[in-house]
Chains A and B, each alone.
Chain A
Amino acid sequence: GAVVSQHPSWVICKSGTSVKIECRSLDFQATTMFWYRQFPKQSLMLMATSNEGSKATYEQGVEKDKFLINHASLTLSTLTVTSAHPEDSSFYICSASYRGSGANVLTFGAGSRLTVL
């Protein structure tokens, strides 16, 4: 089946540094990937849609200069949290859709837990 790999699974960084999270589709091509953020005991919140070869589409309220998204190939999208601060600490999850059983099925990465000190 379709697998999405996300790396790193957890990262700790100092305030002011930048952190990059990778999302790879392992056995299928994903022209579109999605990035979510999840706070403790809350649901997933869509941050942006990553489009291969073009600019990402950000949801309202998400700072595009803060959360840089690059989708340079059909199997890789990256999310860079720039100048991270403690309030950016969260669980970041990516997903990609593939065609399965006549529908577009979302498959998710395992998530990346970011802790900013």
Chain B
Amino acid sequence: DAKTTQPPSMDCAEGRAANLPCNHSTISGNEYVYWYRQIHSQGPQYIIHGLKNNETNEMASLIITEDRKSSTLILPHATLRDTAVYYCIVFGTNAGKSTFGDGTTLTVKP
């Protein structure tokens, strides 16, 4: 499964959009892009996933480039509770073979 690269940390002002990038240049055609976040001492929480089209749900939007080698998670109006480590992972049919990188620590500031 493809590995991903994310910036180690980002800051965002409360109420502003948070844009978290992820590179997955070795992604295969049948692999989806998934985003999770982990708040301290909790299990990861699913946010959103996509294959090649942009996706939006009640939590966030996912923008995937046309070549699928990178994506951006957008939190449209960040709140203090969005402070967490955000993981971008990719996998196909074998979910357990997904590799968690170090993620991006997003800090939302008042």
User: Which A residues are within 8 Å of any B CB, using their own CB?
Assistant: 4, 6, 32, 34, 36, 42-46, 49, 91, 93, 95, 97, 101-111, 113
| B residues in contact with A111, CB < 8 Å | 41-43
Complexed CA–CA distance, A102 and B32 (Å): 10
Count of B interface residues, CB-CB < 8 Å = 23
Q: Which residues of B contact A36 (CB under 8 A)?
A: 100
The reply to whether A108 and B41 form a contact with Cβ atoms under 8 Å apart is no
Asked if A103 contacts B51 (CB within 8 A), the reply is yes
Contact assessment for A103 and B32 in the assembled complex, using a CB-CB cutoff below 8 Å: yes
List 30 A–B pairs whose Cβ atoms lie within 8 Å, in order of A's numbering: A4-B43, A32-B95, A34-B95, A34-B96, A43-B87, A43-B100, A43-B101, A43-B102, A44-B100, A49-B96, A91-B41, A93-B44, A95-B44, A95-B95, A95-B96, A97-B96, A103-B32, A103-B49, A104-B91, A105-B34, A106-B34, A106-B36, A106-B46, A106-B95, A108-B43, A108-B44, A110-B43, A111-B42, A111-B43, A113-B41
Interface of A is mostly: strand
Enumerate chain B interface residues (CB-CB to A < 8 A).
32, 34, 36, 41-46, 49, 51, 87, 91, 93, 95-103
- How far, in angstroms, from A42 to B51 measured CA to CA in the complex? 27
Measured between beta carbons, the chain A residues less than 8 angstroms from B49 are: 101, 103, 105
| A113 contacts across to B, CB distance below 8 A | 41
Question: How far apart are A71's CB and chain B's nearest CB, in angstroms?
Answer: 13
